[in-house]
A = this chain, B = another copy of it.
């Protein structure tokens, strides 16, 4: 077995690992840094692919694609590399098809979803309740959240069952959970969900394309002929980081199988090589970090944690067209659909490239991915196209190319977009996710406290782990403040998270509540019959509660 010696070995060449390397390199150019990656490419859960399009060949992100103005880490990186972002296209009618098997297809041209008055009211009260709870969560240490034990003891599903008034709202939450986590609401801790929302600045930030939200911008795909842009899309962030660090420090196709450590050093092993070093940063998702063999064994708290952090199941598709026919028909390209035997997709967006190649992007996720992943590609494609025809018109059938990526099948990913926590873990084991184990430091977007689960969180976590390693190997490269911050984080003494610095989305919430209240009052005054119906529905909800109880 070939043996090499380094200062720091980083496991994983996604945004997290490469950001860690960048920070280490910037602070101390003398550190010998090696990045080992199982895949044959950098970028982790971001990958940009060339597809046949209206203007010949264009590029689309088959993984993470959106960034937002409150995602300060990724926006800084974009600025550092002189890249540009552009706003997600949202003009026009949004299609909404949720609300039981007999639901009508609704459209809306505003940012308020096309829901009935009662469901809008239900949405408002639910978002208000969840945001209120979310604002009490300590992102660094969810155990400090008031009533943490109780919030962590139920699934998101259980909370919604208890607090949503309408069946349609419950279905809506299913769609949201599928799209954001690739996971059903019954698979995750409600406290974890609150923590995740808090790290993003509020629950609506996870769902919207408005300023400050998760789907605000996309990264421009520059012309591939430019010397500095080997691929374009979001993967170029990782490509450029690798270039900056030096490609000679990145070894692809090198899956780490074991990490041994003693008082002297750590030994990071692949099937054929052994890399001795003074510190290791493991950046791969928890379920993959759990597959590495550690000697001595990791603390059982960490082992138990990574046994219980399932990764989402997400398939992304991109469909290219001669022209963005939906725009001409007044649609934004945004579709939100309920799971059904015929329709695999959960959500679509306009995916037209900055150079004008028309496309729709969408996701098959959670239970829908489970149901559809084992079928033939052609069957899935035909079902997706059929759904698009139903929602956007016949033109959807005349596509140029259909491309999809099932992240669960990608080796050294095994799922996307993020690992969540099952109930009963956050209140016991959360600190184990970041606490260094000897010479091993942990990064990856799942360990982030700002936009956990996103590219932004990946970068934040990489930089945080790099500071930890610098504090260990060469503390003189850190300011007094940074050293204290590292120490404080490791002592879990933080009382509040950086999420508090993210602009509040309460104006969105307030706007939504106000609008629905005004709409509801107007409609009810104008339509006495609707008023009676609504009271009838409300009465049924109340009666059902009593019957259940």
A-side interface residues toward B, CB under 8 Å?
A: 149, 152-155, 157-158, 161, 183-188, 257, 287, 290-291, 293, 297, 299-301, 303-304, 307-311, 313, 367, 370, 373-374, 408-409, 411, 414-415, 422-425, 428, 545, 549
Inter-chain contacts of A152 with B (CB < 8 A): 186
Shortest CB-to-CB span from A31 to chain B, Å, is 31
29 residue pairs from A and B, CB less than 8 Å apart: A149-B186, A152-B186, A153-B157, A154-B157, A155-B424, A157-B423, A186-B423, A186-B424, A187-B422, A187-B423, A257-B257, A257-B293, A287-B303, A290-B290, A290-B307, A299-B374, A300-B313, A300-B373, A300-B414, A303-B414, A304-B310, A304-B408, A307-B307, A307-B308, A307-B311, A308-B308, A367-B428, A422-B422, A423-B423
Q: Indicate if the CB atoms of B313 and A304 lie closer than 8 Å.
A: yes
Q: Give bound CA distance, A155 to B161, whole Å.
A: 13
Q: Which of chain B's residues has its CB closest to A429's CB?
A: B370
Inter-chain contacts of A257 with B (CB < 8 A): 257, 293
Q: Which of chain B's residues has its CB closest to A428's CB?
A: B370
Q: Give bound CA distance, A153 to B331, whole Å.
A: 36
Q: Which of chain B's residues has its CB closest to A301's CB?
A: B370
Shortest CB-to-CB span from A353 to chain B, Å, is 30
Q: Given A307-B311, A409-B300, are A425 and B187 neighbors across the interface (CB < 8 Å)?
A: yes
Q: Which of chain B's residues has its CB closest to A308's CB?
A: B310
Most chain B CB neighbours (cut-off 10 Å) among A186, A308, A415: A186
Q: Indicate if the CB atoms of A307 and B304 lie closer than 8 Å.
A: no
Q: Which of chain B's residues has its CB closest to A305's CB?
A: B310
- Which one of B153, B297, B308, B545 contacts A422 once the chains associate, using CB atoms below 8 Å? B308
Q: Give bound CA distance, A446 to B411, whole Å.
A: 27
Q: Give bound CA distance, A414 to B308, whole Å.
A: 14
Given A154-B161, A291-B293, A300-B409, 17 new contacts (CB under 8 A): A153-B155, A153-B157, A155-B158, A183-B424, A184-B428, A187-B308, A187-B425, A287-B303, A291-B291, A300-B414, A300-B415, A303-B414, A304-B310, A307-B310, A307-B311, A310-B422, A367-B428
Q: Which of chain B's residues has its CB closest to A408's CB?
A: B300
- Which one of B161, B301, B310, B424 contacts A184 once the chains associate, using CB atoms below 8 Å? B424
Inter-chain contacts of A304 with B (CB < 8 A): 310-311, 313, 408, 415
Inter-chain contacts of A370 with B (CB < 8 A): 301, 428
Q: Indicate if the CB atoms of B290 and A424 lie closer than 8 Å.
A: no
Q: Give bound CA distance, A161 to B161, whole Å.
A: 14
Q: Indicate if the CB atoms of B311 and A309 lie closer than 8 Å.
A: no
Inter-chain contacts of A303 with B (CB < 8 A): 287, 408, 414
Q: Give bound CA distance, A545 to B188, whole Å.
A: 25
Shortest CB-to-CB span from A310 to chain B, Å, is 4
Q: Which of chain B's residues has its CB closest to A255's CB?
A: B293
Q: Indicate if the CB atoms of B155 and A423 lie closer than 8 Å.
A: yes
Q: Give bound CA distance, A209 to B408, whole Å.
A: 45
Q: Give bound CA distance, A186 to B149, whole Å.
A: 9
Inter-chain contacts of A374 with B (CB < 8 A): 299
- Which one of B311, B367, B428, B549 contacts A545 once the chains associate, using CB atoms below 8 Å? B549
Q: Which of chain B's residues has its CB closest to A153's CB?
A: B186
Inter-chain contacts of A367 with B (CB < 8 A): 428
Q: Give bound CA distance, A188 to B187, whole Å.
A: 11
Inter-chain contacts of A299 with B (CB < 8 A): 374
Q: Give bound CA distance, A400 to B300, whole Å.
A: 30
Most chain B CB neighbours (cut-off 10 Å) among A257, A308, A422: A422
Q: Which of chain B's residues has its CB closest to A183's CB?
A: B424
Shortest CB-to-CB span from A549 to chain B, Å, is 6
Shortest CB-to-CB span from A59 to chain B, Å, is 27
Q: Give bound CA distance, A40 to B287, whole Å.
A: 28
Inter-chain contacts of A373 with B (CB < 8 A): 300
Q: Give bound CA distance, A542 to B532, whole Å.
A: 31
Inter-chain contacts of A158 with B (CB < 8 A): 153-155, 158
